[in-house]
Amino acid sequence: MRTDTGQVFKLEDYRRPDYRIPETRLSFDLHPDRTVVVSELLIERADGVPEGTPLVLDGDGLDLLALDINGEPLGANAYEATPDRLAIHALPKGPSFRLRVTTRIDPSANQALMGLYRSSGVYTTQCEAEGFRRITYSLDRPDVLSVYRVRLEADKAAAPLLLSNGNPVEAGDLPGGRHYAVWDDPHPKPSYLFALVAGDLGVVTDEFVTMSGRRVALGIYVEKGKEPRAAYAMDALKRSMTWDEEVFGREYDLDVFNIVAVSDFNMGAMENKGLNIFNDKYVLADEETATDADFANIEAIIAHEYFHNWTGNRITCRDWFQLCLKEGLTVYRDHEFSADQRSRAVKRIAEVRTLKAHQFPEDQGPLAHPVRPRRYREINNFYTATVYEKGSEVVRMIRTILGVDAFRAGMDLYFERHDGDAATIEDFLAVFEEVSGRDLSQFALWYHQAGTPNVSVKASHDAATGELVLDIEQSSPPTPGESRKRLMHIPLAFGLVGPDGRDMIWETVEGAAVEHGVLHVRKRRHHVRFTGIAERPRLSLNRGFSAPVTLSVEERPEDRAFLARHDGDLYSRWQALNGLMTDAVIEASKQLRDGRAASFSAEIAELCGTIAADDRFEEAYRALALSLPSEADIAREIGSNIDPDAILSARNGLIEAIAGANADAFATLYDRLADGGRFSPDAASAGRRALRNVLLDYLAAGSRAPGRAAAQYGDAGNMTDRSAALAVLVMRHADAAETKAALADFEARFGSDALVMDKWFQIQAAAPGTGALATVRALTNHPGFSIANPNRVRALIGTFSSANQTGFHRADGEGYRFFAGIVLEVEQRNPQVAARLATGLRSWRSLEPRRKALAREALQKIATAENLSPDLRDIVERTLA
């Protein structure tokens, strides 16, 4: 583990590298616990750098065996080597030289899963962001691009498969049962995109012919016997390749494209050039073992990593402050892909729910940072919802402001101008300014300023004059290190909905620029005057969630209900109903805390009944409309002094009210939506299952008898229906014999399939109430659980801390104490995963005073532990600050 130097890296300290490395040759002699790496680098001194400037290479825990320059071993005085750094003072004269570095590493001992490690007997690598320095000394920074040739040598029986980046050029047998392969990647790339895989895996192959007629051999490598489960990922890959050609004009650029699924992986997947490495959770799927959500995630992540080939690899980042240049843009691209492959409205609602659930709390808490941060201690902690999801929203706003054609023209110019570059956000914004002639300097604040802006709107209508006036005001709350905020450019898509439910057309508008249904808020206050508005309209604001802001609108309660029935924008219509539900639960939770009974207006239940039955909408949309905001969503809206128990009771009260009012209709619809045992993963079929499973939850809440859920569990022909039924049993019928039987059955069926068992861990970890802690604690001793595997930790502990409001936030603080202990235990092996897990306590300040104090104690327990890793120290110190 690296020692924490407490060093802070700052954007303004960026300097171009003194040396370039145009060519890299790597040779790996792979052995499980003693791998020797020979790295031969062609090194050139950069223009303007004086001769004699020392060469300083990055390392991390390395063991140097040999070192020579131009074939001559270096004398002991010529260099200084520590595990974390290699500085060479005595360099040959002239502009370039060849450096040869030999290091020895132990893949089997590597439990941090960064650098070269073993997963289920397979050698694999993860180099982003700074993992390459755990393999060999190098200029491990993204603005040093090199052409790689890689030779792998391993035991042929244990590792018949030898993969690296680029195209295969040579392979053969060696004495002693060993063999080798050579790979050549002609595209210059930074070290973080290097990868190798060696092992014994099964494969699914296919072929893709690009738009210019080039043949690409596709391979997806998975654990032997699981090949059939890779079929959907292969299909998603081919669709992604076609889509990037059609929508962005981007063609693939190597003869092969390989994907490898591994079972120990810190994140979702990694876009290494020509050799994507995936968490197997995002590759393997079939109807018996994967849910519709799993299929959708696989499709999105396969696309995401593939799209990185252009946005990330061909054009990479100058430094890690620019991470959103590749991540925000690539998330935007995968969102658009999924919207085109599935339903655009449904996809948009799902995106906004994710953004609000993950990015908003980050932006509104102690870990808030700009989409392009200006400082970091540990870059691993900046792979955040802000960089990824808000980064995508910022790209989306550029499209909203420019329009689709200018946006595409800007993207074309970006690819043309920066292919082969390590670029910056300034480079990215410049192409859009150039093609559109617009000044995006105020807009650029979305990259530079943290926090979620608020827009408040007040409307007044004068029927006599036909005038509508909107008083709009923007404000941005302070965030850590940024107390004063500048005014943002906020593109608000909107409509004025008339009494007939249609959008009204105005004669004139003044007070703000309005273009194509988008109102551009740029000043602190706008007094916007519309004329030709005969009747009082309902305001449909931030349609399609055109800007990632919070809105406070002065409106009559009946306006919301009207929009929930009539808004022509499907997103805003969903938002209106969801807002009504949220307010109803908040109101009921107040009643409960005041010792009163919770009461609900009949209108929400009636609206739910109407939308459930409305065949004009796709089932997936109806399912989203009927899904109540989560307990965490409601807590976030309340904002402070949060009592999770009151929220749970209030939310259940609303579910029961909706279920009670619609019992017969929901039961009839539930029966009608049965699929008769046919399965297809397509969006329409998934939508029917989603709606049916939402109805199952209502029916269970309404009846208190486990019969229907137990029957669905037993009859289920696919994992979506089976796991949904199991979740309903656990949530709604915790003590029923049927629930215990279903849990036992699930374990008996899938006990040997770790990915499926993650669902079993998740469902139990999410069970509400104080009893969950004992269950979770017991499950840490289950033979299927492993503290060393990130997927297991996320399924059990991650779910408990992020999706179990009443269990985790137990009033006695036992949830927090348990959690702190686990975080420290995970950290012993894997600081990156521990740091991410620890963000589960970031909203501690919003809790009611008793819980708040207990949560702080748990954070302090982590903060004062000995030998804390830089990753975890960074998170807990910022969280407590």
Catalytic positions, written as ranges: 305
721 binds, among ligand TRP, Zn ion, none (CB under 5 to 8 A by kind): none
Closest CA to 470 of 450, 494, 489: 494
| Element spanning 586, H or E | helix 570-593
Q: Which one, 377 or 520, has the nearer CB to ligand TRP?
A: 377
Cis peptide leading into 350, omega within 30 of 0? no
DSSP 8-state code for residue 479:
B
Name the residue with tokens 């690819």: 415
Alpha carbon separation from 299 to 230, 293, 381 (Å, rounded) = 12, 10, 26
618 binds, among Zn ion, ligand TRP, none (CB under 5 to 8 A by kind): none
Shortest Å, Cβ 363 to ligand TRP: 19
Neighbours of 444 (CB within 10 A): 18
Q: Which one, 267 or 755, has the nearer CB to Zn ion?
A: 267
Q: Which one, 391 or 453, has the nearer CB to ligand TRP?
A: 391
Closest CA to 277 of 294, 264, 286, 289: 264
Shortest Å, Cβ 673 to ligand TRP: 36
Name the one range near Zn ion by CB under 5 A: 206-214, 320-328, 430-438, 614-622.
Answer: 320-328
Shortest Å, Cβ 409 to ligand TRP: 27
Name the one range near Zn ion by CB under 5 A: 282-290, 328-336, 744-752, 848-856.
Answer: 328-336
- 680 burial level (CB within 10 Å; 0-12, 13-18, 19+): exposed
Three-state DSSP class for 641? coil
Closest CA to 584 of 610, 566, 557: 557
Site for ligand TRP, rule CB under 6 A: 126, 128-129, 266-267, 269-271, 304-305, 327, 380, 383
Shortest Å, Cβ 487 to ligand TRP: 32
267 binds, among ligand TRP, Zn ion, none (CB under 5 to 8 A by kind): ligand TRP
Shortest Å, Cβ 827 to ligand TRP: 16
Name the one range near Zn ion by CB under 5 A: 323-331, 395-403, 835-843, 861-869.
Answer: 323-331
Q: Which one, 143 or 327, has the nearer CB to ligand TRP?
A: 327
For the beta sheet containing 35-45, the strands, ordered from the edge strand earlier in sequence to the opposite edge, are 72-73, 63-69, 96-105, 35-45, 19-29, 146-155, 178-189, 167-174
Residues in the chain: 881
Name the one range near Zn ion by CB under 5 A: 180-188, 216-224, 321-329, 611-619.
Answer: 321-329
Shortest Å, Cβ 360 to ligand TRP: 20
Task: Report the C-alpha gap between 620 and 606 in whole angstroms.
Answer: 19
| Cβ 666 vs Cβ 703: under 8 Å | no
Task: Report the C-alpha gap between 371 and 446 in whole angstroms.
Answer: 7
Which tokens go with 420? 């082969």
**Nearest residue to ligand TRP, scored by beta-carbon proximity:** 267
Q: Which one, 195 or 490, has the nearer CB to ligand TRP?
A: 195
Interface positions, 43-102, toward Zn ion (CB under 5 A): none
Q: Which one, 269 or 765, has the nearer CB to Zn ion?
A: 269
270 binds, among Zn ion, ligand TRP, none (CB under 5 to 8 A by kind): ligand TRP
Alpha carbon separation from 746 to 283, 460, 756 (Å, rounded) = 22, 58, 9
Closest CA to 42 of 61, 5, 69: 69
Task: Report the C-alpha gap between 812 and 809 in whole angstroms.
Answer: 8
129 binds, among Zn ion, ligand TRP, none (CB under 5 to 8 A by kind): ligand TRP
> What are the backbone dihedrals phi and psi of residue 662, each rounded to the nearest 5 degrees, phi first?
-125, 20
Name the residue with tokens 């539900």: 581
Q: Which one, 414 or 494, has the nearer CB to Zn ion?
A: 414
244 binds, among Zn ion, ligand TRP, none (CB under 5 to 8 A by kind): none
| Cβ 670 vs Cβ 657: under 8 Å | no
Q: Which one, 191 or 364, has the nearer CB to Zn ion?
A: 191
482 binds, among Zn ion, ligand TRP, none (CB under 5 to 8 A by kind): none
Task: Report the C-alpha gap between 615 and 145 in whole angstroms.
Answer: 55
Shortest Å, Cβ 128 to ligand TRP: 5
383 binds, among ligand TRP, Zn ion, none (CB under 5 to 8 A by kind): ligand TRP
Interface positions, 330-349, toward Zn ion (CB under 5 A): 330
Shortest Å, Cβ 260 to ligand TRP: 13
380 binds, among ligand TRP, Zn ion, none (CB under 5 to 8 A by kind): ligand TRP
Shortest Å, Cβ 329 to Zn ion: 9
Sign of CA dihedral 587, 592, 596, 599: positive
Q: Which one, 186 or 268, has the nearer CB to Zn ion?
A: 268
Per 3-state DSSP, the chain is made up of helix, strand and coil in percentages (nearest 5) of: 45, 20, 30
Interface positions, 91-150, toward Zn ion (CB under 5 A): none
For the beta sheet containing 55-58, the strands, ordered from the edge strand earlier in sequence to the opposite edge, are 55-58, 85-88, 79-82
Residues near Zn ion (CB under 5 A) are 327, 330
